[in-house]
Structure 1
Amino acid sequence: MDLAIATRPVQPDDDERLRRLWPRLSRDTVYRRFHAPLRRLPVEAVRRLVRVDHDLREAVVGVVGGEVIGVARYDRSPSDPSTAELAIVVEDDWQGLGVGRQLLAELTRLAAERGVAVLTATVQPDNEPVLGLIRRLLPDSTVTPDGDVLAVRSALPRP
């Protein structure tokens, strides 16, 4: 695979690219990202993915050949804007090639520049690729059991 992956903030016209990404995700990838066996991406979910203000809500996409192959996003907590929840998904054929690392690095840089001090995430206990990615990029993260998932909390270094 050609590893010329461009990362950039999501744009309003990415909605169709995100719709085309969906069928390229395996059921396992969908389940790990959404914690549910979704069969289709609801239209409102696509709208929410592309309608960001690039401050309280941000999304960064990985693009190859004009197609979105991955998305990393954060949503700030309404009660504490210095904390934001992150999520990431990478197309199956591109997993294990550094796309997630590139997306998460860009997202954490943007978050820190905008005053986010802590990133949180909910991860399934057997999602070793994401847990490993978090350990490598955010080594001071704490991971604690929270029911049947893991709660991740990562302080961001100041820019």
Structure 2
Amino acid sequence: MHGREAIEAHYRVAGARMAGLPVYNPALTVELLGWRAVEGVGALGVLITPWCMNLFWQPPADAELPASGERAVLSLPSGDYECTLHEDERLGRHASASLCSPMQDFPGQAEARAMAGEVLRLILAVPEAGPEPSRSGLLSRRALFRRALGGAS
């Protein structure tokens, strides 16, 4: 598992190239929130950048997954999340799922961190015992944000 600092450094370099683009929000900085190992899954967190917010997933090294650029499903007790796989010389194999882009609706880092924290809380939540929830489809980005903002899913 790569450390949070290495991942953030990688995206800060990318940020230097993004700084002049209209999608870049200068009120935000690169931050990987909640980076942690999750048993059987690998490691994950929410990556905040001035241009996007992504679920960032590093699967276990021995995981059988499709090639870079293909989609893979991250299965958690809270649901299934479709991610795009990437292969990078410095970060190795990792995947991301777009949560928000562009980031212009966030006036500052505190608001972006609050949203990222709520997303983490929701995706890492273990459902209460009861009837097995339907897993007939992937949880959409819209449904995840609706939950994070307190609406019905």
What TM bracket, shorter-length normalisation? under 0.3
Compare CA radii of gyration and give the structure with the larger one: 2
TM-score, normalised by the number of residues in structure 1:
0.27
Higher relative helix content? 1
Q: With structure 2 as the length reference, what TM-score do the two structures score?
A: 0.27
